[in-house]
Amino acid sequence: MAEIALKSLAHSYLPNPTKPGDYAIREMNHVWQQGGAYALLGPSGCGKSTLLNIISGLLEPSSGEVLFDGERVNSLPPEARNIAQVFQFPVVYDTMTVYDNLAFPLRNVKTPEDRVHERVMEVADALELTPHLKRKAKNLSADEKQKVSMGRGLVRDDVSAILFDEPLTVIDPQLKWKLRRKLKEIHQRFEITMVYVTHDQLEASTFADKIAVMYEGQVVQFGTPRELFEAPNHTFVGYFIGSPGMNFIDVSLRNGRVMAGETELHIGREIAKALQDVRTTNVKLGIRPEFIEVHDTAVEGSMAVDVEHVQDLGTYSILYLKLGETSLKARIEEEQDAPVGKAYLRFPNDRVGLYVDEFRVEVPHE
Ligand code: ADP
Ligand code: MG
């Protein structure tokens, strides 16, 4: 069991990297605490597998340090790091039985046979592999093989951490849900540090207590699913988490008024005040579709918008709106009738985030 710390870590696959884009991992610091259930969430190509392979020792980072409980492990090979890794595609020995496949990691570290038996039976039970123990791995279906692969990752309870790299990709959707629950149970039972890589926000939030969102080789936010939803630290987190994602409105200050293009926004004065000190032109306001107040008629402080389209999703609807030149989405629940033609919006003060050069900045409340 271990705390895993990454210090000034960076990695490039190129021999002579120069610009930020040359790095698969851009300089970052991060700590996975002992015993946590974590997800590493981000789009394809953002560096998730690279980061996992650096932690497990399959890949040596270009610079920076990997520390397990404070000890530098950079030069230790994977075997010496005591980490289990489960990959996207099954890694099983085809000619061995399911039982022997599961027993392999234990026998490899000279575990007594009675203990091997105990653990194999326990893991087989958790993954519903018990009826298949005597079968040769080559005769299994793709998802059965992947379960064996996961079992091999879970079977040793003395590992420092288990790393899962999109392990459920080849598993069918129904079983996926079940296996995710299983993993969570196993985590609670054994309290092993687990890092679960995925590009699926639902998968991340059902498994993890805390999610690291990765974008262009960096962890841009590390927080609970709720924190990522309510206060995205970076515009990317706003877009990526939530369905649909957060609205971002390009704004500027003109004569003390907050403008979206030629349209004045009616929002709290503290935003205008905060904008006075901003020196860049890359300034956005962010508000989630769920948090926009939608009215049929004008109310105090509201902004008139055109309703372009209504998408009825049963228990709620998504409204596609135009505020001047800016497109917005708002979500209303089924109790509320969708407005026709025009609508009037209010942005509650505490739901509006200010984003300067893509990062959220605190707005002092008056
Ligand atoms: P993810 O797992 O998030 O999809 P990866 O870590 O696989 O992302 O890849 C991050 C970046 O590094 C991508 O731009 C990818 O093309 C590049 N990359 C990954 N593996 C290699 C490799 N072996 N050689 C060169 N470039 C690689
Ligand atoms: Mg990957």
pLDDT per residue as tens digits for the range 28-49: 999 999 999 999 999 999 999 9
Q: Whose CA is nearest to atom 16 of ligand 1?
A: 45
How high is the mean pLDDT of the chain?
A: 94
- Buried b / exposed e over 134-170, threshold 16 CB at 10 Å, is eeebeebeebbbbbbbbbbbbbbeebbbbbbbbbbeb
- For residue 290, the SS3 value is helix
Chain segment 213-258, per-residue pLDDT in tens: 999 999 999 999 999 999 999 999 999 999 999 999 999 999 999 9
Cα(51) to centroid of ligand 1, in Å? 10
- Check residue 339 and report its DSSP letter: P
Mean pLDDT of the 322-333 span: 97
Show the ligand 1 pocket: residues with CB < 6 angstroms. Answer: 13, 24, 42, 44-50
- Give the C-alpha separation, 281 to 300, whole Å: 30
- Tell me how long the chain is: 366
Cα of 170 vs its chain's centroid, Å = 19
* 244-361 CATH fold: OB fold (Dihydrolipoamide Acetyltransferase, E2P) (2.40.50)
Sole residue written with tokens 């991992």: 25
Q: Whose CA is nearest to atom 7 of ligand 1?
A: 49
Chain segment 77-116, per-residue pLDDT in tens: 998 999 999 998 889 999 999 999 999 999 999 999 999 9
DSSP string, 264-283: EP---HHHHHHHHT---S-E
The pairing of strands 63-68 and 326-333 is unpaired
Sole residue written with tokens 């630290």: 233
Nearest to 165 by CA among 2, 60, 47, 12: 47
Ligand 1 probe mutation, 11, 13, 216, most atoms within 8 A of CB: 13
- Give the C-alpha separation, 189 to 79, whole Å: 25
Q: Whose CA is nearest to atom 24 of ligand 1?
A: 13
- Give the C-alpha separation, 313 to 317, whole Å: 5
Neighbours of 213 (CB within 10 A): 25
Domain spans, the chain:
4-239, 244-361
For the whole model, what pTM was predicted? Answer: 0.91
User: Averaging pLDDT over each range in 54-58, 124-128, 183-187, which range is the top one?
Assistant: 54-58
% helix, strand, coil for the chain, step of 5 = 30, 30, 35
Cα(243) to centroid of ligand 2, in Å? 23
Is a pLDDT exceeding 90 seen at residue 187?
Answer: no
- For residue 351, the SS3 value is helix
Q: At what angle do helices 98-108 and 142-154 cross, to 10 degrees?
A: 20
Distances from the Cα of 139 to the Cα of 70, 75, 123, 286, angstroms = 44, 39, 20, 52
pLDDT at 1: 64
- Give the C-alpha separation, 339 to 297, whole Å: 9
Q: Which amino acid is at 174?
A: Q
Sole residue written with tokens 């309870």: 157
CATH superfamily of 4-239: P-loop containing nucleotide triphosphate hydrolases (3.40.50.300)
